[in-house]
Structure 1
């Protein structure tokens, strides 16, 4: 018999038994209702004996009732550099508290999501962070009923579990207020969705813009509120329209950084300058965009890491079943795209 130099893994057991790693996990955890056939169970246990697979971690889990794992189910968070800070925040706090993250990206596939839920249950996770790459209303999978769950960067449509999400309205208010404090009274907004969209980001950011104007005693100009889709091309086209008029704004709050990038391009094409001819504020603090525009873009930072940290704190608090909304403030990142408004001669 050849002696192995590497420890036997669950993958080795699965290959020997001719089953998936999830099936091996179900057998070793003796999960009720898993519907694993007796013959399959026998093959798995035979492979465990033949390969000398150590199940100490599972034994500890069975004895204590806790695996030391926190599930992290998301659509595309782990594979997205834009929202990856969510996973980072969860991992850091989990590690500090003696836990580890078991993460799965489902890419919006219902079958993969169901399998991910089953895997979380088989590992007896302490709870699940159910995350979204962008702020939206979600339905928590039925399979997580009875499992401590916190929704992050999204809102639970049923209102049954805690939801941690960016405070979009406060962010829109902060962005617009920053322009007001720089002396601007002619402030336009280019939103990132249509007026009939139900996505929380655009709704909240527009509400914040309106609140800041109202608080400052500035009448809203309906023709200065434009609606795009959050892409560079919309920022280019809509800023061109706004700044080509004889009566034009001196500042624009863009609903995201890509729209702001388009606004920069529009100003340049028109022979205008940022911020001398028009101040620009974005939203997201997209690390591949905001710092590299010239001048650097003043923007609101989405609090990915803080949202994930808050979600894990709720899970570990001992009372994660208390539903409720937990908005997290978006910080203003000031760069060079805003200047004092010109005083009319």
Structure 2
């Protein structure tokens, strides 16, 4: 079979060989329209042209590879949208993502960073499955971006969810429905989760805006699983009738699922007797509850895109402060008006 050449791609795309070279070999192509670049790439794929990656990397000093080191996002559908966002940007710009999940093993993490930098990846994204502050691994390349985590020394650009604003949005949703006695089912203190503190701050801010004095009895904690949410909701529903909440904001969707169970076991209707809002918009949980759960979405896909855009120098970023990605409210069927007027 004859070798497919760059001139064959040019003929298939209806452009010059020089244009094909600039599009496929990583040269300066800012003057080439997006439509022409798309046509060249589609023609190359259609006829099976594969550029010589070794020659290209020697010429451009780029491998067109980006390393992504994480604890476990690839094996977790919930957080896998970060990988999807990063991969979409990389693919659109001719880059390959090389992923290593370390399962939070420090030795494997060091080995992964060393291996990827040894392969001369053009950039590296360091990702965690949930929002936290982390020590920066040794040996990171100059172009590194932190995804869903912040470096302790603040020396690298980072993107994390805007947890406080998400908590604020959740409670405002319940206030807008007419609720005044709103509980927060929080993560257990032993879990030391940054998001717990920030979402609680959003909860308190929303109550303050509404002129409501927080009731400590309406802030309860539990394990961040369905059983923890059920136990916390049971404690709230055991309160005297005049102190019982008419709405519950839960730290995550799994705890909200447990709150549903606690309500249904008592013959309470959601949202007729108790409105519930979750957090995360977790796949196969929020939309599958009955009724579907109103929740706050973690912007995993958007954070993944942002991190890759910074890694590829498509977007400027300041390492001095992490970017806070908005967490939108996802309205479904679990919020309604309170069942009866409730005194503050």
Question: Aligned to 2:309, which of 303, 306, 313?
Answer: 313
- Conserved? CA contact 1:260–1:281, under 8 Å: yes
Question: Where do 5+ consecutive residues of structure 1 fail to align?
Answer: 6-53
- Measured at CA, do residues 301 and 339 of structure 1 come closer, stay the same or move farther in structure 2, by a change above 3 Å? same
- Conserved? CA contact 2:125–2:145, under 8 Å: yes
CA distance in 2, matches of 1:337, 1:199: 26
Question: Aligned to 2:209, which of 209, 215, 218?
Answer: 215
Give SS of 1:82's match.
coil
Question: Aligned to 1:248, which of 230, 244, 251?
Answer: 244
Matched, 1:301 2:275: no
Deviation at 1:205, TM superposition (A): 0.5
1:43-83 deviation per Cα after TM superposition (whole angstroms, max 9, x unaligned): xxxxxxxxxxx994234223321111111110001111111
Question: Where do 5+ consecutive residues of structure 2 fail to align?
Answer: 2-49
CA distance in 2, matches of 1:134, 1:282: 16
Question: Aligned to 2:200, which of 206, 210, 224?
Answer: 206
- Conserved? CA contact 2:126–2:145, under 8 Å: yes
- Conserved? CA contact 1:193–1:228, under 8 Å: yes
Give SS of 2:269's match.
coil
Question: Aligned to 2:98, which of 90, 99, 102?
Answer: 102
Give SS of 1:283's match.
strand
Q: TM-score, normalised by structure 2?
A: 0.81
Moved over 4 A (4+): 318-321
RMSD: 2.0
Give SS of 1:94's match.
helix
CA distance in 2, matches of 1:320, 1:275: 42
CA distance in 1, matches of 2:237, 2:55: 68
Map of 1:330 onto structure 2:
327
Deviation at 1:163, TM superposition (A): 1.2
1:175-210 deviation per Cα after TM superposition (whole angstroms, max 9, x unaligned): 00000011100100011131x764211011100000
Question: Aligned to 1:288, which of 284, 307, 318?
Answer: 284
- Conserved? CA contact 2:222–2:231, under 8 Å: no
- Mapping of residues 109-148 of structure 1, within 5 Å: 109-144=105-140, 146-148=141-143
